[in-house]
Amino acid sequence: MGGIVGTEGPILVAVLAHLAVQNMLDDIANRVIDNMSGVADLSTFLLWLKQSWSWQHVGGILLPFCLAWIILGILAVSIPYGQFAGFGFSLTVVLVGLLVSLISHIYLWTCLLASNLKTYQYDMNTFSPADSEIISDISESLTKALYWLASASALFTLLATSSLVEQQSRAILSFPFLVVTWIVIIIQFLLTRTTLGTITKRAKWKTLNRIRTKINTLEATGDLSDKDTAERLLRLADLHKQIMASKTSTLDLKSFSTLFSQLMLPLLGLLFGNLDNLLELLP
């Protein structure tokens, strides 16, 4: 049963990862691209998307990871028994290694996507960039990807730590797998918040610099004793102060509650997988 879980689990996770990628690409096509403010940015982004799924890029990540998985997997079984693990087992390790490598590539691609999105210019809310539509769209798309990841991890944790797997393997797999999953989710969360913060801050300072230029030009060319000139300067200064005071960070109670719910999914999988042990602890 442990072998079945070890084989079917990555297949299921790979299917969920594929669905997550399709969902993100749909969101990018329908929500993100429309808010890019320049044709050059759009062309650069589409080129990056094409290159990120090229054979050269995928193979550069997949092959080293897969080779390491195969070598370590076969040695982990062959060394304790003092003999070659066998052709059938080795073939299974190869197939699972390909799936796990592809899943790893999808996760790395999602991280690169989150980082890449912060390099482009978008149509933003001038007075409150953090409340722009594009910020909400990018946040929702990457958050949904995190929920896909957390759900897949919860399901695999449930299978790998259930009574289908022998007790010794359950003890070895449970806690390390949970910790690794939490680290992966937290990294993706921080990347997403960093991207949103960078986009917001860049839009905010773009507007502030434009206002500052107008203030300096008006001060240099106008008569400060003139009432109309003074009122224009005061209005620009108030506008500068208002935008300066607007929030830049997208970290709030809602984002932390979302992260908490994502972290709880793998933990619930672990708890339900070890439900028999938990019941024994109850009086």
- Separation between Cα atoms, residue 10 and residue 6, nearest integer Å: 7
pLDDT, residue 84, reads 77
Domain assignment of residue 214, yes or no: yes
Domain assignment of residue 206, yes or no: yes
pLDDT, residue 281, reads 57
pTM: 0.79
Domain assignment of residue 183, yes or no: yes
Range of the domain at 195: 2-274
Number of domains in the chain: 1
Domain assignment of residue 279, yes or no: no
Domain assignment of residue 283, yes or no: no
Residue-wise pLDDT for 119-160, tens only, equals 888 888 888 888 888 888 888 888 888 888 888 777 777 766
Domain assignment of residue 281, yes or no: no
* DSSP-based three-state secondary structure for 177: helix
pLDDT, residue 231, reads 82
Domain assignment of residue 85, yes or no: yes
- Separation between Cα atoms, residue 100 and residue 66, nearest integer Å: 8
pLDDT, residue 95, reads 85
Domain assignment of residue 280, yes or no: no
Number of neighbouring beta carbons within 10 Å of residue 14: 17
pLDDT, residue 180, reads 81
| Token pair belonging to 170 | 């359950």
Q: Which of 150, 176, 108 is nearest to 13 (CA)?
A: 150
pLDDT at 275 over 70: no
Residue-wise pLDDT for 28-64, tens only, equals 888 888 888 878 888 899 899 888 888 888 888 888 8
